[in-house]
Every structure is written in structure tokens, then in C-alpha cells.
């Protein structure tokens, strides 16, 4: 709902969408607090070695460029057609943006948001009414030493992403037997196997689970590592397969990085490398770690059962939103994706194979029964992995037409004139 300035807007998470939303709010004159549990763009830093498949022009806003130019006349952004690694994106755009006068003093790093609620209202009270907005939000947050504090805000935008909250690797999305105890020893991210994590994977045997772009990236990188370290072995576990292989190619894909990873992963799955063994229709049934040998003992389930042992396990099985932050608020979640319901329904109705052809679904799909609480960015897609930064920028523009109560409000368009 519309909220006049000066009101306090709390942004949860300083990833690209949190920073861009904070910037938009600052330009409009809101007071902003950005709570970030790690460093700026912490989640992107965790896969910083991976080259992004969307060009920089899709990953930055005109407002961001205008803020950076206003801060430092000599700022030279990456070219719009450059394909940056995650780390380059942070170093050359997100970090400088976070340090501008507009954002720098509003950023609370090393602060984890634990829970958000309304001090005078329980979850089940004033159901679905705007009366709930009479009581400001209360934000419980924790610093890195474990001390807890309370913040307040009139508007909360949750952009905490999903990357830190992986799915389970077992059958049917359940934890495999033994997996919960090994949560910290199994790798759920995209390790830099040819760089900083090389010693953990070179000439060793790795189980990779999953059939998305992250799994494809991991398998392709491990196969490359095997060219230098020939005893490197990979077993790639996939539940189902398309005609072309585990990764469905996008016809005439306009993103060369994505097309090449897809083609190479499918080639490896077809038996092109003696170092990669592809197992279709199998999943992880149980896992344990043998301290004496330093190896994972696993049982794989499919038509038959198999036992094997591995030096490392990389489970690229997707991520899900952590909804504990808003469990005391009235958020209607989709029963299939765990994303906010209105957007999930719109996404379901517009299923497209290529995430590049998506559009934002309009301001109303961003609203929740809880007034003034919004979920934007990767978290707004729930378990759906197709989110792109460019969609998040559209979401920000759409959201502030509601908060700012102006249907035609578009600071990104206005900023184009500032840049020219
Ligand atoms: C390997 C890989 C490659 C990708 N390539 C692309 C690409 O080419 N193009 C593209 O558009 N997208 C790409 N993505 C998706 C990309 O990660 C998202 O588009 C983008 O990072 C989403 O931004 P976000 O701000 O919504 O969330 P995130 O970037 O995940 O940021 C969330 C932030 O919230 C913080 N946080 C989490 N919980 C809390 C809490 N409780 N309290 C405080 N802070 C918290 C996190 O530390 C993090 O900094 C890729 C993803 C992966 C994994």
C-alpha cells in the first residue's frame, strides 16, 4: 500500500536486488536500513568464479549507473555486452554502488535478520486487513557476536535470496539417510574446482547430483580439471533426462555462455569422457562419512541399488526460500514453490523454457495479505530457479509504483536522461 515519505524501509539482504531496491527508495526520499548477514553480495561471492550468462547490461540499473557517476565522475562501468564473472560483477558494480553516499551509511553488514513481526498483532489477528499496518514492523536481528537487537520499519522488503538455503539431495527431495548430519561436509554450492578448491577435487572421485545449470557447470569444470589431473573421476547422478541430455538446450540460445555449458554437459553425459560416469534415474539413498578413510560411503537407489565411495559430494539440487523470517506474518505461500502465492500463480501460468523471455508480472503480483511486506528478487521465485537480476529490477520499479502511489513512476526511465 502507499506509504508517504519520510518512512523507514527495511531491506533484508544486500544482494543485487536488495541494493537496487535500497537505492530506489533513497532516491524517493525514504529512510533505509539494509541488513546483510555477510558482506555485500555474499551469495554471489560464493560462486564468484563462475561467468554469468546474462550480459552486464541486464544486471545493472540506469539508477545504479547514475548514482555511481554522481559519486565519482571517473567511474567507468563494464560494457553492457560484457559477460562478467560473479566476482567481477561485485567488484566493478555492486560493491562501489554499496559504498556510494546514498547507500554506504545505511548498510548494516554482518547482521542477520532472524524474524520480522508486528509487536501488537499476532499472525492470526486482523486477518488480511490493512489495519495491520497501524503497528510498525519489529525486526529481530543478530550481530556476528550473537548479540540480538530490535529494529523497526514501516515497510519491509525481503530480498534475502535462496542461495544459502539448499534443498536436500535425497529421493523425492527428502534428506537422504545420513544427509542431515553431513550438511556441512557436502558441498551444495558451485565450487571453484579448477581454482581455489582444486586440491579437494584434483585426482579425486566426486559425486555430482542435479540436472540444472549449476550441476552442469560443476561437471564441465571437473572434466576440464581431469585434462590436467587425469585421475579425477566424476559420477553424475540425474533423476530424469530430456531427448538432448540432462540439460534441455534453448533453441537458438542468445546467451553463448549458457549454450556452451549446456552442449558440453550433454556431451559428457553421453559418455564423451572416460572420467565422467553418467547415471540416469538414480538418486542418493544414504550417505555416511568414514573418518578413517576420509571418504563418503553412499548408497544409490534406482532400478537397482549400488554402493560406492567418494572423496567429495557436490549436491547442486536447487534452493528454497527460508520462510522463518516471516512466519509470524500473513504471507500466502505457494504449496508447490514456497514462493509468495500471487507471483507463483502468475509464473505458473506463463511457463517458458527460456528464463530470458520472462517479464515481471506487475505490481499486484508482489503484494501479500500482510500489508507493506514484500518479497523481491530470487526469493520471490521460491524454488523456481529461473529468476534473473533483470526481472528483479522490473519488480523494484513495479513495487515503488505501489509504495509511492504513482502508476507511472519509473525512476529507471528518469535516470536515462541523467546519464545522457
Ligand atoms: C552459479 C550461478 C550463476 C548465476 N548466473 C546468473 C546470471 O548470469 N544472471 C542472473 O541474472 N542471475 C544469475 N544467477 C542467479 C543470481 O544469483 C540471482 O539472479 C541474484 O543473485 C539474485 O539476487 P538477490 O538479491 O535476489 O539474492 P542474492 O544475490 O541471493 O542475495 C541475497 C542476500 O541476502 C543475504 N541474506 C540471506 N539471509 C539473510 C538474513 N537472514 N539476514 C540478512 N541477510 C541475509 C545474503 O547474504 C545475500 O547477500 C546465478 C546463480 C548462480 C548460483
Would you state the pLDDT for residue 352? 58
- Best residue for ligand 1 mutational test, from 10, 12, 15 (most atoms within 8 Å of Cβ): 15
Q: Determine which residue's CA is closest to atom 13 belonging to ligand 1.
A: 388
Third-level CATH fold of 171-315: FAD/NAD(P)-binding domain (3.50.50)
Is 42 a pocket residue for ligand 1 (Cβ < 6 Å)? yes
Would you state the pLDDT for residue 257? 85
Q: Report the atom number in ligand 1 closest to the C-alpha of 35.
A: 43
DSSP letters of 348-377? HHT--S-GGG-----GGGG--SSTTEEE-G
Using alpha carbons, list the distances in angstroms from residue 188 to 43, 45, 169, 185.
12, 14, 9, 9
Rounded mean pLDDT, 37-65: 97
Q: What is the architecture, at CATH level 2, of domain 8-164+319-419? A: 3-Layer(bba) Sandwich (3.50)
For residue range 350-372, list pLDDT tens digits in order. Answer: 765 667 677 889 999 999 999 99
Q: Specify the pTM.
A: 0.96
Residue 252 has pLDDT above 90, yes or no: no
Would you state the torsion angle of the CA atoms of residues 375, 376, 378, 382, taken in this order, to the nearest 10 degrees?
A: 30
Contact call for residues 34 and 108 (beta carbons, < 8 A): yes
Contact call for residues 295 and 309 (beta carbons, < 8 A): yes
Contact call for residues 153 and 33 (beta carbons, < 8 A): yes
Look at residue 157 and give its three-state secondary structure. Answer: strand
- Is pLDDT larger for residue 241 or for residue 265? 265
**Confidence band, pLDDT 50/70/90 cuts, at residue 400:** very high
pLDDT averaged over every residue in the chain: 95
H helices present in 174-230, as ranges: 198-201, 213-228
Would you state the pLDDT for residue 353? 61
For residue range 185-226, list pLDDT tens digits in order. Answer: 999 999 999 999 999 999 999 999 999 999 999 999 999 999
Q: Determine which residue's CA is closest to atom 4 belonging to ligand 1.
A: 52
- The Å distance, Cα 45 to ligand 1 centre, comes to 9
- The Å distance, Cα 191 to ligand 1 centre, comes to 16
CA 264 to chain CA centroid, Å, is 24
Q: Report the atom number in ligand 1 closest to the C-alpha of 377.
A: 26
| Domain layout of the chain by residue ranges | 8-164+319-419, 171-315
Give yes or no on whether 8-164+319-419 and 171-315 have one common fold: yes
Query: Which of 255, 349, 289 lies closest to 55 in space, CA to CA?
Result: 255
Rounded mean pLDDT, 386-415: 95
- Is pLDDT larger for residue 359 or for residue 385? 385
Position of cell 529512510? 31
Is 55 a pocket residue for ligand 1 (Cβ < 6 Å)? no
- Best residue for ligand 1 mutational test, from 36, 40, 161 (most atoms within 8 Å of Cβ): 161
- Best residue for ligand 1 mutational test, from 33, 35, 37 (most atoms within 8 Å of Cβ): 37
Q: Report the atom number in ligand 1 closest to the C-alpha of 162.
A: 30
Amino acid at each position: 500500500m502507499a506509504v508517504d515519505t519520510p518512512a523507514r524501509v527495511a531491506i533484508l539482504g544486500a544482494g543485487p536486488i536488495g541494493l537496487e531496491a535500497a537505492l530506489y527508495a533513497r532516491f524517493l526520499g525514504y529512510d533505509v536500513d539494509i541488513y546483510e548477514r555477510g558482506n555485500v553480495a555474499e551469495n554471489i561471492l560464493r560462486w564468484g568464479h563462475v561467468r554469468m550468462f546474462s550480459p552486464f547490461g541486464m544486471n545493472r540499473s540506469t539508477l545504479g549507473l547514475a548514482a555511481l557517476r554522481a559519486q565519482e565522475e571517473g567511474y567507468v562501468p563494464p560494457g553492457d555486452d560484457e559477460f562478467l564473472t560473479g566476482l567481477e560483477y561485485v567488484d566493478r558494480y555492486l560493491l562501489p554502488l554499496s559504498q556510494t553516499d546514498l547507500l554506504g551509511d545505511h548498510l548494516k553488514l554482518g547482521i542477520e535478520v532472524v524474524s520480522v513481526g508486528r509487536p501488537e498483532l499476532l499472525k492470526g489477528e486482523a486477518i488480511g486487513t490493512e489495519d495491520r499496518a497501524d503497528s510498525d514492523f519489529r525486526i529481530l536481528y543478530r550481530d556476528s557476536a550473537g548479540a540480538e537487537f530490535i529494529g523497526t520499519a514501516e515497510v519491509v522488503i525481503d530480498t534475502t535470496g535462496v542461495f544459502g538455503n539448499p534443498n536436500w539431495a535425497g529421493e523425492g527431495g527428502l534428506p537422504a539417510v545420513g544427509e542431515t548430519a553431513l550438511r556441512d561436509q557436502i558441498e551444495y554450492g558451485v565450487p571453484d574446482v579448477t581454482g581455489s578448491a582444486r586440491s579437494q577435487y584434483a585426482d579425486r572421485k566426486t559425486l555430482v547430483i542435479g540436472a540444472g545449470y549449476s550441476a552442469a557447470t560443476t561437471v564441465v569444470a571437473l572434466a576440464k580439471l581431469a585434462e590436467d589431473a587425469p585421475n579425477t573421476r566424476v559420477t553424475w547422478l540425474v533423476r530424469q533426462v530430456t531427448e538432448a541430455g540432462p540439460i534441455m538446450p534453448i533453441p537458438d540460445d542468445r546467451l553463448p555462455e549458457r549454450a556452451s555449458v549446456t552442449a558440453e554437459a550433454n556431451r559428457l553425459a553421453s559418455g564423451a569422457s572416460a572420467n565422467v560416469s553418467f547415471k540416469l534415474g538414480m538418486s542418493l539413498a544414504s550417505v555416511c562419512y568414514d573418518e578413517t578413510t576420509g571418504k563418503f560411503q553412499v548408497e544409490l537407489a534406482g532400478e537397482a541399488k549400488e554402493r560406492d565411495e567418494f572423496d567429495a559430494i557436490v549436491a547442486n539440487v536447487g534452493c528454497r526460500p527460508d520462510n522463518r523470517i516471516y512466519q509470524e506474518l500473513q504471507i500466502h505461500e505457494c504449496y508447490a514453490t514456497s514462493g509468495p502465492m500471487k507471483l507463483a500463480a502468475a509464473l505458473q501460468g506463463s511457463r517458458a523454457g527460456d528464463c530470458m523471455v520472462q517479464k515481471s508480472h506487475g505490481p499486484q503480483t508482489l503484494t501479500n495479505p500482510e500489508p507493506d511486506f514484500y518479497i523481491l528478487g530470487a526469493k520471490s521465485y521460491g524454488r523456481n530457479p529461473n529468476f534473473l537480476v533483470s526481472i528483479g529490477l522490473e519488480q523494484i520499479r513495479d513495487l515503488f509504483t505501489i509504495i509511492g502511489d504513482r502508476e507511472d513512476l519509473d525512476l529507471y526511465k528518469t535516470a536515462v536522461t541523467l546519464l545522457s
